[in-house]
Amino acid sequence: MRFQFRKSVASLLCSTLMLSSTLSPAVHADGLNNLPSLGDAGGAELSVQDERRLGALIMKDYRAFGAVNSDPEITSYISRLGNKIVQAASESPSNFEFFLVTDKSVNAFAMPGGYIGIHTGLIAASQTESELASVLAHEVGHVTQRHIARRFGQQKQSSLVATAAMIAALLVAGSNPQAASGLMAAGAGYSIDQQLSFSRDAEREADRVGFLTLQQAGFDTQGMVDFFGRLQTASRLYENNAPSYLRTHPLTTERIADIRNRAGLENRRTPSQKQADLEFELVRVKSIVFAERSNQQLADRLRTFESPNEQEGIKDPVALAYGKSLVLNAMGRKEEALKVSEQAIARFRSAQSVVKTTEVPMLLQSQRMRMTLDASLPLVSAPIDQRPPRERAALNSQEKALLEQLNELRNDFKSEMSVRLLYAEGLQRLGLFAESDSYLNELAQAYRSVPEVFDLLAQSALALRKPAEHHMALAQSFNARQAYLPAIEQAEIAKRFASDNYYLLAEIDAKQREYKRKADAEREFARFGN
Give the residue numbers marked as catalytic: 139, 207
Contacts of 445 (CB under 8 A, 6+ apart): none
Going by C-alpha positions, the residue among 485, 481, 490, 476 that lies closest to residue 498 is 490
Report angle CA 442, 443, 445 to the nearest 5 degrees: 70
Q: In degrees rounded to 5, what are phi and psi of residue 353?
A: -125, 140
For residues 83 and 428, the answer to whether their CB atoms sit within 8 Å is no
Q: How many residues does the chain have?
A: 530
- CA–CA dist 192, 196 (Å, integer): 6
Instruction: Report the SS3 class of residue 118.
Output: strand
For residues 129 and 277, the answer to whether their CB atoms sit within 8 Å is yes
Give the count of beta carbons closer than 10 Å to the beta carbon of residue 65.
17
- If you ran DSSP here, which 8-state letter would residue 280 be given? H
DSSP character string of 56-105: HHHHHHHHHTT-EE--HHHHHHHHHHHHHHHHHTT--GGG-EEEEE--SS
Instruction: Report the SS3 class of residue 449.
Output: coil
- CA–CA dist 126, 134 (Å, integer): 10
Paired with 111 in beta bridges are 115
Going by C-alpha positions, the residue among 475, 357, 366, 474 that lies closest to residue 420 is 366
Contacts of 517 (CB under 8 A, 6+ apart): none
